[in-house]
Amino acid sequence: MIIRKMELRDLPQVVMIEESLFSDPWTENAFRDTLDQKEADFVVTVSEQEEIIGYCGAYRALDEAEIVNVAIRKKDQNQGVGAGMVRTLIEEEKKKGVHFFILEVRESNLSAQHCYEKLGFKSIGIRKNFYDCPRENALIMQMESIAGDE
């Protein structure tokens, strides 16, 4: 498996994963528009057979980035793919001057929360009724990169 920058040719597979996992999925056009934004970075994990296994992204503003759309095919979940992508994305954002990272995760998604905690994220609050279908709170998690930990 390799982790690389998301490309336009990846979008059909990315959208298939998105639609299989989320009740309110992004469209291909939404991903396409995001890839055109200079403050957005998205990565994919690709198998040896050139299949997209997962993807995630980050939006940058000054020295802060929000991690979004961490998604892994159901059959490949809980195997470290998400952690690898988030770690790669964080390292790329650090090179661009980012020191603070934030993300939201469903309150019930304990495996994702555990993964983010192992990466250094800490819970800092709750967004009430953030998710639909089913309606659920989001746990807000943050990580601060201190000088010298690069």
Each domain of the chain, given as residue ranges in start order, spans: 2-144
Residue of higher predicted confidence among 145 and 84: 84
Q: Does residue 20 carry a pLDDT above 60?
A: yes
This prediction has a pTM of 0.85
- Catalytic-residue membership of 91: no
Catalytic residue among 55, 93, 104, 131: 104
**8 Å CB contact between 25 and 18:** yes
Could you give the 3-state DSSP secondary structure of residue 39?
coil
Query: CB under 8 Å to 31, separation ≥6 — which residues?
Result: 6, 11, 14, 15, 18, 42
Task: List, in sequence order, every beta strand (DSSP E) within 18-109.
Answer: 40-46, 52-61, 64-72, 100-106
Q: What is the pLDDT of residues 97-140, one digit of tens each?
A: 999 999 998 888 888 888 899 999 999 989 897 777 778 888 89
Could you give the 3-state DSSP secondary structure of residue 8?
helix
Catalytic residue among 116, 131, 136, 150: 116
Q: What is the pLDDT of residues 51-103, one digit of tens each?
A: 999 999 999 999 999 999 899 998 988 888 989 999 999 999 999 999 999 99
Query: CB under 8 Å to 63, separation ≥6 — which residues?
Result: 97, 98, 99, 100
**106 - beta bridge partners?**
138
- Catalytic-residue membership of 104: yes
Look at residue 77 in the predicted model and tell me its pLDDT: 86
Q: What is the mean pLDDT of the chain?
A: 89
Look at residue 80 in the predicted model and tell me its pLDDT: 86
CATH topology of domain 2-144: Aminopeptidase (3.40.630)
